[in-house]
Structure 1
Amino acid sequence: MEKWNPKRIIQKFKKTKMEKLAEKIGVEPLALPTYLQNEDTAALILKATKQMNVDDSAIFIQWSNAGFNDTAVANCRNGVAGQNQTAIINYIVGSGGSNFNDLNTMFLFRNNFAIARCQYSFPLWTYHQEGVPDVCHSICRINKLSASGRINYEPFDYPFVV
């Protein structure tokens, strides 16, 4: 006979990070976009929003290495030196974004004007190009709505992806 263990019972009721993220957004977990239906992604976003103030925003990016390796010149978009992931990261940070945990995927903004300026002033080479892989698989804006941690997300399709 198996010994009674209260931790096993509690674990069955413990929510996953994805479930917690969906709850903070106010949707069912499977209603989240596929790029947010990942435990590591959900954990990162939940951790980052704890560092954000109400009305702060963030950019979450899932990079595509293919977008930087479209020619024989490795890690350079269009084969041009300087057109790489580091240049985009430097652009975001230079526009007021803070590279959360130095993971190069989550960038926090303390000023909504800065994130708007950043969003609409990316270098032209980062834009979607017909026949060339995009520089990222997905990108979205995360907004912290309340002190209790309520958040929302919105597609950030401009300019990286179609």
Structure 2
Amino acid sequence: MSDDGHTGSPSASRSALEPWPDTVNWQPISRDLIWVELIRLGIGLAVALVVLGVAWALSGHWLLGAAVGVALLIGVWRAITIVRAVRAWGYAERDDDLLVRHGLLVRRLSIVPYSRMQFVDVSAGPLERAFDLATVQLHTAAAASDARVPGLRPAEASRLRDRLTALGEDRAEGL
């Protein structure tokens, strides 16, 4: 067994297709984000169902009735995936970078070096504030590498923002 805890056999070694290393101490986000996302889904679904329902009532066309059924099925499927997707979010602070993971079907691991951070935002919309949540958004020079960590308590979001900002400044000074 090597010093990283993996055996030398190819089947036991880490693969690029396994983007969430077990050797990292992942911090979960708040499960209250599930409620925020379900409420957003409910609002969007309600609007779509009202529009489709009124159109169906006025026209009586069977396709609009089928669209109501499809919208309900998609809403149920999305509610199930929201629960699983929120549980997939996590972040880890390492010595030189921040790791952010998320995704179900397509797993995504973002690694943001502290030295590449330009600024860090903390935001909270009305629903997030109602559930005492905030989102930390990291901005880098490359827009594609920006990462966000939703579902944090405001105190943790502020702590993470301050720590990332301080680490980013320290690393940038060394360049």
> TM-score, length-normalised on structure 1?
0.26
Structure number, greater radius of gyration: 2
Structure 1 or 2: more strand by fraction: 2
> TM-score, length-normalised on structure 2?
0.25
Structure 1 or 2: more helix by fraction: 2
